[in-house]
Structure 1
Amino acid sequence: MQTPPTPAAADEDAEYADNLRRATLASSIGSALEYFDFALYGLATALIFNVLFFPQEDPAMATVAAFATFGVGFVARPFGGLFFGVLGDKFGRKIVLVITIVLMGGASTLIGVLPTYETAGLWAPALLVVLRLLQGFGAGAEQAGATVLMAEYAPVRRRGFFSALPFIGIMAGVLLAGLVFSLLTMLPESALMTWGWRVPFLASFLLIVLAVVIRARLHETPTFVEMEKHEQVADRPLREMFKHGFPSVLVGIGLRMGENGGSYMIQGLALSFFVTVVGPEADKSLLTWGVTIGSLIGMITVPVSGALSDRWGRRVVYRAGALFMLAYSFPAWWALTLGSYPIAIAVIAIGIGVAVCTMLGPQCAMLPELFGSRHRYLGVAMAREISAVLAGGLAGVLGAYLIAITDANWIVLAVYMAVLATITVVSTFLVPETLRRDLSRTDDAVKISRVEAGDDVWLGGSQPVAAGAVTSETTFSAVRSGQ
């Protein structure tokens, strides 16, 4: 017969459950805002910014330039991840998440009031680049913080599921962007190009206010609280990350190449490719429904794949998603050349909802599990944001350039996406299984050590917790075990 919890334990578990719900909501809103902004910007880049912010003597090169500004935001992300990641490991997860949401959302709102090339000349793209840099700088630590926050709050046996819940916010953000843009493109061309495109950027302000109010009430994660209590907080997390965590960063980058690069190829580049194939008469509003439907599918796929990773392990589920994307690359880009709207919508929807999201689900718990507690925020931020530059940021500008110089050759783009997926497949074989790893551990899951020194060999992670260390297994036991 199970012994009933004491009143003190019951109060502790009730408080933990309340904070878990608040953390889920706070992370979800931030994720929604980040991906609403980036999906919206990706859609606008392919269909609006290339016309309004750049000279039109060569439309193809104007599109390349527009995607270059899209990529600029990714360049700023690693610097934001580095700066705020250090702060998150030194001063806590909560304060950084408040700062990043204000910076990221504020820049997005200001995009909605920018002058166009026709009225401001070169100042228009210059200001657009500045705001993209600020947006990327804030976003560089936003998703990493949300990921770490939820992993450190989540019940151990259901960490994959709970960590994936805020990423429904990602799909919600992409869904909202797709819906908004689909509705906007139904406006007359003159209205869309004058004031219509500005509305969703200005509306970002509402999400900022909501997110700040919720995050201000959020408690610090149990893991960081215990670190502070036992004086385990790193004075120099950057130094520790480069000394001990760099192998995990490299593997994390590889894991993200297929998911992040494939996502931005499907969300933004596929629309530009289809318009190039069909011609100027292409109905842009129909195409964005692919993003909308894919996001709806992803709102189911992400938590389901996260939950499956709690049962079968992170690696096998992640690898399944990467293999699907690899197999999907060639038929997907070939199908877009048919010029069929229903087929194009299905290609985009399956690419986002199945290929990308099957990797995204287990990734939510897996990335934090790769890193030790003293440099986890920084490590996750570096893995996410360096990969965002190499995969997502490069995908837009390089893909647009490939479309221009190859006369929209689908094989080149299919090879590109297949290479990204292959990198991720290989990376799943270079990481140990991190399922149910104790997040209070200070060592990383991925190690490269010298055998002659008597240390763990490649892919260790079996070191015992230091004597006397307080682990997550001793805290909030009832809630964490799913009771």
Structure 2
Amino acid sequence: MTSTTSTPRRAAAAAFIGTTIEFYDFYIYAFAAALVLGPLFFPSENPMLSTMAAFGSFAVGFIARPFAGMVFGHLGDRLGRKKMLLVTILLMGIATTCIGLLPTYSQAGVWAPIGLIFLRLLQGISVGGEWGGAVLMASEHAPKGRKVFFASFAQWGSPAGLLLALIAFRCISEMEQESLMSWGWRIPFLMSGVLMIVGLVIRFGVPESPEFTKVKDSDQTSKNPVSEVIRTGWRQILFAALAVTIGSGGFFFTNTFMITYVTQYQGIAKTTILDCLFVVTILQFLSQPCSALLAERLGEGRFLKWVASLCILVPYPMFLLVQTGNLFYMTAGIALAVILLAALYAVIAGYMAEAFPTRVRYSGISIAYQLGSGLTGGLTPLLGTFLAGYFAGQWWPLAVFFSVLAFMSLTGVIGLSRLRSQNAKSYVLAPSQGVIS
């Protein structure tokens, strides 16, 4: 199959819309965990314990992601990228809609949190399989020399999904507290069913990746891509997992934990922080494609090193501005951090993808990304809540925590860059052995 002139754009658009829907579903759970799920499903006399339990259920979704990355990576490298993307969006839509139908603890007792955690696991499985396929459908359809930029369209779905989630929760936050807690919180979850249908229709219209089709037609698909990529590319997986740390953990720090931090520890209204995050997310949405274009001109490796280095420094001015309680300064502080996070996030997907050969690429990037995001993205709000409670009134431990995440990403980018330089393009496809490192 050969790509027509319009196919790369269609593939990029489908990746963007599909990941927008997936991340909308994922983010509305994050917001619900910060705002309502604690008292509804994990009631306690101590609000901090309820919030930590809700964030614990949020982390469960991340625990499932590395395993899902392996399963869907294997199937995607064996059967194709498109089939897996249809399965993941269907699974996510069903799981999220069912969360909106769940009885609460007061209605069903212990079965309520059990059901919530089970559906959260399904969400994690879906995202664990979704990300790699969306990135590859965009990058493997891309013109030569533009793979990183086209792959960034899959990453662009994250701020778009976050915007939709923020709009949904901003609307219901205006409701009376009693109505919000009884039925209003369900609305964003139930909307997922409609979005799922839209995503399925769009993805049906995009052909399979031409690079995968070429490998399949030449009978060079790996019999066990997960085993092969772990055996031959474990260093690439390790450094790529480190490289995505701040891109995942940092966003959940600014967009999820920060809601709890400013509402519970600074007494700022929910609507104020949601308005702040809405403006910040618009800036992220606008800046991400610009960052991808800039990286294309400067060199992706050099660009990623500079951005990761700046991320180590950015939490200190961010917290100083957030501490003022002024909406303008809060927005400026969080925006400064998020624009840097978005720059790394936009570029890292395509940069990672080029580190693995086609026959094991879905498995390689899925394992790496889901391992990194699973450990940091899910635990960041939980650890942030613990630090905020333990060091009550002090922001510097939180800033140090953010800097550590950024340093891990810088280490990963440097390691991945060196491997790419040493190995020409990390791996070369060999007809007899599949890959040579």
TM-score, with normalisation over the residues of structure 2? 0.94
Q: State the partner residue of 1:28.
A: 16
Whether 1:420 aligns to 2:408 is no
Cα distance in structure 2, aligned partners of 1:67 and 1:414: 20
Q: State the partner residue of 1:201.
A: 189
Question: What's the CA shift for 1:459?
Answer: 5.3
After TM superposition, the structure 1 stretch with the greater mean CA deviation from structure 2, 409-418 or 323-332, is 323-332
Q: State the partner residue of 1:122.
A: 110
Q: State the partner residue of 2:396.
A: 411
After superposition, residues 53-202 of structure 1 pair within 5 angstroms as 53-202=41-190
Alignment check: 8 A CA contact 2:357 2:428 kept: no
Question: What's the CA shift for 1:126?
Answer: 1.2
Question: What's the CA shift for 1:462?
Answer: 7.1
Matched residue of 2:5: which SS?
helix
Q: What letter is aligned with 1:208? A: M
Question: What's the CA shift for 1:314?
Answer: 1.1
Question: What's the CA shift for 1:344?
Answer: 2.3
Deviations 1:142-166 (A, max 9, x none): 0111111111111122222222123
Whether 1:356 aligns to 2:329 is no
The structure 2 residue matched to 1:374, chosen from 347, 359, 365, is: 359
Question: What's the CA shift for 1:326?
Answer: 1.2
Cα distance in structure 2, aligned partners of 1:57 and 1:49: 15
Alignment check: 8 A CA contact 2:240 2:413 kept: no
Structure 2 gaps of 5+ residues are: none
Cα distance in structure 2, aligned partners of 1:378 and 1:462: 15
After superposition, residues 72-471 of structure 1 pair within 5 angstroms as 72-279=60-267, 282-352=268-338, 354-432=339-417, 446=420, 461=425, 466=430
Alignment check: 8 A CA contact 2:152 2:350 kept: yes
Cα distance in structure 1, aligned partners of 2:427 and 2:26: 40
Cα distance in structure 1, aligned partners of 2:100 and 2:431: 55
Question: What's the CA shift for 1:276?
Answer: 2.1
Cα distance in structure 1, aligned partners of 2:29 and 2:423: 39
CA RMSD of aligned residues (A): 2.0
Alignment check: 8 A CA contact 1:45 1:70 kept: yes
Matched residue of 1:113: which SS?
coil
Matched residue of 1:431: which SS?
helix
Cα distance in structure 1, aligned partners of 2:66 and 2:322: 33
Alignment check: 8 A CA contact 1:336 1:344 kept: yes
Cα distance in structure 2, aligned partners of 1:373 and 1:182: 42
Q: What letter is aligned with 1:83? A: V
Cα distance in structure 1, aligned partners of 2:428 and 2:50: 56
Alignment check: 8 A CA contact 2:355 2:426 kept: no
Question: What's the CA shift for 1:463?
Answer: 7.0
TM-score, with normalisation over the residues of structure 1? 0.85
* Paired-residue identity, %: 33
Cα distance in structure 2, aligned partners of 1:380 and 1:360: 14
Structure 1 gaps of 5+ residues are: 1-11, 434-444, 448-457, 470-483
Cα distance in structure 1, aligned partners of 2:431 and 2:183: 63
Cα distance in structure 2, aligned partners of 1:329 and 1:60: 23
Cα distance in structure 1, aligned partners of 2:428 and 2:154: 31
Cα distance in structure 2, aligned partners of 1:145 and 1:267: 25
Cα distance in structure 2, aligned partners of 1:203 and 1:429: 42
Q: What letter is aligned with 1:165? A: F
Question: What's the CA shift for 1:274?
Answer: 0.7
Alignment check: 8 A CA contact 1:304 1:361 kept: no
Cα distance in structure 2, aligned partners of 1:42 and 1:331: 25
Alignment check: 8 A CA contact 2:19 2:134 kept: yes
Question: What's the CA shift for 1:334?
Answer: 3.3
Question: What's the CA shift for 1:460?
Answer: 5.3
Cα distance in structure 1, aligned partners of 2:232 and 2:168: 44
Matched residue of 2:4: which SS?
helix
After superposition, residues 7-18 of structure 1 pair within 5 angstroms as 16-18=4-6
Deviations 1:156-179 (A, max 9, x none): 222222221232222111111112
Question: What's the CA shift for 1:86?
Answer: 0.3
Q: What letter is aligned with 1:293? A: V
Question: What's the CA shift for 1:29?
Answer: 1.7
Deviations 1:315-342 (A, max 9, x none): 1221222122211112212332333333
Alignment check: 8 A CA contact 2:156 2:346 kept: no
Alignment check: 8 A CA contact 2:73 2:362 kept: yes
343 and 56 in structure 1: CA distance in 2 versus 1, 3 angstrom threshold: farther
Alignment check: 8 A CA contact 1:31 1:143 kept: yes
Cα distance in structure 1, aligned partners of 2:417 and 2:28: 36
Question: What's the CA shift for 1:302?
Answer: 1.4
Alignment check: 8 A CA contact 1:168 1:298 kept: no
Question: What's the CA shift for 1:48?
Answer: 0.9
Question: What's the CA shift for 1:467?
Answer: 7.7
Deviations 1:63-88 (A, max 9, x none): 11110000000001111111111000
Deviations 1:175-198 (A, max 9, x none): 111122112111121221122111
Matched residue of 1:119: which SS?
helix
